[in-house]
Amino acid sequence: MAKLAELIETLERAYPPRLAESWDSVGLVCGDPGEDVRRVLFAVDVTEAVVEEAVSWGAQALVAHHPLLLRGVDSVAADRPKGALIHRLVRAGCALFTAHTNADSADPGVSDALAAVLGLTVTGPIEPKPVPAVDKWSIQVPVDHAESVLAALFAVGAGGSGDYREAAWRTTGTGQFRPLNGANPAVGTVGELTRVSEDRIEVVAAPRDRATILAALRAAHPYEEPAYHVTERAQLSGNLGLGRVATLPEPLTLREFTARAAAALPETAWGVRCAGDPDRVLRRVAVCGGAGDSLLDAVTRLGVDAYLTADLRHHPADEHLRRSGPALIDAAHWATEFPWCAQAAEVVQTGLPEVETRVSGVRTDPWTVGSAG
């Protein structure tokens, strides 16, 4: 049996809160991190039917993609629609956790799950997030003091990279210096050239920690004036970010790819529609789970053949096509994000095998009837 705190840690490792947009609300909404968790339900939206499913199944946590309380609220009174859901969950001992735009930008994230059900091979994000800046510290230290200096650096956070800690590079060489009048050398004599067997140690650290690391270095280093150099890595793009660019396993026409999407995604009243020449051959496409018209310019610059997303509006779509942008495939918002639920459930199954997971069977797409006539 796991604790809610362990569930939160597992989910936030996969969908780091720092990836969320500034306007978003993600993380634990209600629940006690110290409580036990045996069952977790996953859904796109927190609706009355989803909450009832979670409670009836005996879930101790409901993990949703869309925040229930996204806008500022001043009351969760039980006589208000959203407040009533919070009270129902709390009374049943079921926590609520949200992973929204942090799950959109994670790797893998919402758009990776969408690409997978469409049979696509992802090559990268549409709009990459920059890799966080990192410093490389290069320090010369007498061989006999290298271990103690490294320990001091590790103690203040240097040497961390992803899931690794106490990472460093060491090589041995010969350092030299000539102390001048006024110096108080730990090794050597004023006025004489001194050569010392030294280790060159290199560690990485966050730029925000420069002052702390320098203080630790000076305190642990035997020299009056330690020799060090700090280099900041150039800003690079990584695999994190919104949307995904992908390739098809074989060329398909726009008509054929639209049919594939309709068959792969859960059925909705909205269905799947496309804009562009139905016979256009597609080899490279972009996808974005949820509302993705803000990325229309980005996919045009990328030169993909088509772009599948949700909630495309008339004027932006029309103007995009007039500018000879890629063909468009428009699906229901809920349908493009639903595949993420299985991905998130797998994250928990892998990290907490003792926890039972289920993807909600409730269709939370708000549209109920579609008619072409």
Looking at residue 132, its pLDDT comes to 81
Q: What share of the chain has pLDDT > 70, as a percent?
A: 100
Tokens of 227: 């020799």
Q: Are residues 250 and 331 in the same domain?
A: yes
CA–CA separation, 271 and 333 (whole Å): 10
115 backbone dihedrals φ, ψ, rounded to 5°: -60, -40
Q: What share of the chain has pLDDT > 90, as a percent?
A: 88
Looking at residue 203, its pLDDT comes to 97
Looking at residue 366, its pLDDT comes to 94
In a domain, 285, yes or no: yes
CA–CA separation, 247 and 250 (whole Å): 8
In a domain, 366, yes or no: no
Q: Tell me which of 234, 264, 294 is where a domain ends.
A: 234
Q: Give tens-digit pLDDT for 103-134.
A: 999 999 999 999 999 999 999 999 998 888 89
In a domain, 358, yes or no: no
Closest CA to 162 of 238, 245, 229: 238
Q: Model confidence at 76, in pLDDT bands (50, 70, 90)? A: confident
Q: Model confidence at 371, in pLDDT bands (50, 70, 90)? A: confident
**Is the separation of the CB atoms in 46 and 96 below 8 Å?**
yes
Q: Give tens-digit pLDDT for 10-48.
A: 999 999 999 999 999 999 999 999 999 999 999 999 999
Residue 197, helix vs strand vs coil: strand
Closest CA to 8 of 86, 102, 111: 102
CA–CA separation, 340 and 195 (whole Å): 61
In a domain, 207, yes or no: yes
Q: Are residues 65 and 212 in the same domain?
A: no
Q: Are residues 262 and 118 in the same domain?
A: yes
**Is the separation of the CB atoms in 95 and 31 below 8 Å?**
yes
CA–CA separation, 224 and 217 (whole Å): 11
Q: Are residues 26 and 65 in the same domain?
A: yes
In a domain, 350, yes or no: no
Tokens of 230: 């700090």
Q: Model confidence at 329, in pLDDT bands (50, 70, 90)? A: very high
Q: Are residues 293 and 324 in the same domain?
A: yes
In a domain, 248, yes or no: yes
Q: Is the peptide bond before 67 cis (omega within 30 degrees of 0)?
A: no
**Range in 67-76, 205-214, 236-245 with the lowest mean pLDDT:** 67-76
Query: Is the pLDDT confidence value at 373 over 70?
Result: no
Q: CATH code at 19?
A: 3.40.1390.30
Dihedral class, residue 152 (left if φ above 0, else alpha if ψ from -120 to 50, else beta): alpha
Question: Amino acid identity, residue 265?
Answer: L
In a domain, 359, yes or no: no
Q: Are residues 149 and 16 in the same domain?
A: no
- Based on C-alpha coordinates, what's the Rg of the chain? 27
Q: Are residues 121 and 246 in the same domain?
A: yes
Q: Are residues 124 and 161 in the same domain?
A: no
Q: Are residues 196 and 153 in the same domain?
A: yes
User: The domain containing residue 247 runs over which residues?
Assistant: 110-129+240-336
Q: Give tens-digit pLDDT for 83-108.
A: 999 999 999 999 999 999 999 999 99
Report the number of distinct structural domains present in the chain.
3
Q: CATH code at 150?
A: 3.30.70.120
Q: Rounded mean pLDDT of the chain?
A: 95
Q: Are residues 53 and 94 in the same domain?
A: yes
Q: Are residues 316 and 251 in the same domain?
A: yes
Mean pLDDT of the region 255-280: 96
Q: Are residues 147 and 225 in the same domain?
A: yes
Angle between helices 81-92 and 48-57 (to 10 degrees): 10
In a domain, 48, yes or no: yes
